[in-house]
Amino acid sequence: MSIEEAAAAQKKEPRKIMVDVYTDWCGPCKMMMANTFTSQQVIDYINKNYYAVKFDAESPKDVTFKGQKYSNPTYDPNKKGRNGVNEFSRALGVNAYPTLVYMDEDLNIIAPISGYRTPPQLELYLKFFAKNDYKTVKTQEEWDAYQANFKPSFK
């Protein structure tokens, strides 16, 4: 689903959005696609609790989000490998790949979380944001305790 499609779906049935920001050349992005996003438990949980968006950070396509238009002005169609950065990825706070950007039901960014995650590692974040625990965990000590007490069930 595109971010525009997720924003439209949000109006009919509000839920959180998870944006997978990746690039074609990113090894950990490919690993996450192959090892994490193929887990049936991950798929089921995301589909129940989020609108899932995939966004190529180097896409030459324009994106319109919350009335703002974003583009990739340095994209070169003849270039191989790294190829400019779409302004939308910068607006999401992305500076590494992969990054999963979590948004609330009002399309506000909750947090961009960078790095490869296995299904049990991703489960921590999926549930933390879906259950609104992020609203009560405010300090590093509280986050450390939350992680220590979290018991993953995804395999």
In a domain, 155, yes or no: no
In a domain, 154, yes or no: no
In a domain, 81, yes or no: yes
1-28 pLDDT, tens digit per residue, is 999 999 999 999 999 999 999 999 999 9
Domain containing residue 97: CATH number:
3.40.30.10
Count: domains in the chain: 1
Residue 16, C-beta contacts closer than 8 angstroms, at least 6 positions apart = 49, 50, 51, 102, 103, 104, 105, 110, 129, 130
In a domain, 20, yes or no: yes
Please, what is the Cα angle at 118 between 134 and 56, to 5 degrees? 80
| CA separation for the pair 112, 92 (Å, rounded) | 7
In a domain, 46, yes or no: yes
pTM, to two decimals: 0.94
Evaluate if residue 79 carries a pLDDT over 90.
no
Q: Which domain holds residue 65?
A: 3-149
Reading the block at residue 152, the tokens are 């993953």
